[in-house]
Amino acid sequence: MFGCDINDDTDYTEFVYRNESSHYIEVEAFNNANSNVRIRTFDLNTGEEEIFLQQPENWTGPLEIPPFFGTDSVITIFDDTLAITFEPGRLDGNPMRIDNYKLLEGEEDPYVYLFEFTNEDYERALERGRVIN
């Protein structure tokens, strides 16, 4: 879980990562400016999800900063064989960009953002990614 214990008196934001693809996925976030430090990693089988909570002090309303804030690259690996790297300026399917998330309707306490990995992301990795292993 990202951040501190959740205080019920303060708004917090929930980021849900769901694997809707037919591929096993591993996600790694790095801060290369800081000696290539891996900041976060998680993996998802088809149909699984991972949830991160954020609760900045003295904040109200939805937090439109994904948990990858402070990273300079995110790598998505499919089936341990195909990787695609995202950097802040990259658009399509980039988990670093809040506009690739859905704010779930009716979910105001907490605010819930959903990022879905799909077969389209795998196809994008086939076009722009690199084979590993």
For residue range 34-59, what is the model confidence (pLDDT) as tens digits? 556 666 789 999 999 998 887 666 66
- Residue 55 in domain: yes
- Residue 34 in domain: yes
- Residue 3 in domain: no
* Residues 99 and 47 sit within 8 Å (Cβ to Cβ): no
- Residue 28 in domain: yes
Query: Is residue 116 over pLDDT 90?
Result: yes
Nearest to 85 by CA among 44, 32, 49: 32
- Residue 6 in domain: no
- Residue 5 in domain: no
- Residue 59 in domain: yes
Query: Is residue 32 over pLDDT 50?
Result: yes
For residue range 118-133, what is the model confidence (pLDDT) as tens digits? 999 999 999 999 999 7
Give the domain range for residue 60.
Answer: 13-131
- Residue 82 in domain: yes
Split into its structural domains, the chain has a count of: 1
